[in-house]
Amino acid sequence: MDDSGQSLFDFESGDMCGYENWRREQQQRLQAIRREWGIPVCRRVRLRLKNLNGDFEGVLRLVDQPLTIDRRRPLHLKIDNIDVFPDQIEQCVVIDDPHTTVP
């Protein structure tokens, strides 16, 4: 990973594990985001938002992955086509298998 937080692929090294290394880094980053914000990103959830009636069900995705893991910076999320920010979440329940990875 370089200073900007972006992973680099080293094609000249002959290392064929680049993609697996990238996937592992992404999973570690998602785990860090989940821990820091307490939000189950990239998981299937049932979500209730403060100012909208009804529950929403789907995969809670990051719109932009933060460069730094810092809860003082807001996360921009989406569930289906609805923009969500953490302070709008009233209730969030994970409804998938915790061992299943959602791309």
Within a domain: residue 36? yes
Rounded Cα–Cα distance for residues 32 and 10 (Å): 25
Within a domain: residue 103? no
Within a domain: residue 2? no
Within a domain: residue 64? yes
- Which of 45, 46, 43 lies closest to 100, judged by CA? 43
Q: Which amino acid is located at 33 in the chain?
A: I
Mean pLDDT of 61-68: 88
pTM above 0.75, yes or no: no
Rounded Cα–Cα distance for residues 46 and 55 (Å): 6
The residue range of the domain holding 17 is 11-94
* Domain count of the fold of the chain: 1
Q: Which residues contact 18 (CB under 8 A, 6 or more apart)?
A: 9, 10, 11
Min mean pLDDT across 43-47, 78-82, 94-98 is at: 94-98
Output the domain CATH number for residue 21: 2.30.30
Pick the more confident residue, 78 or 97.
78
Within a domain: residue 85? yes
Within a domain: residue 23? yes
Residue 48: φ, ψ to 5°: -115, 130
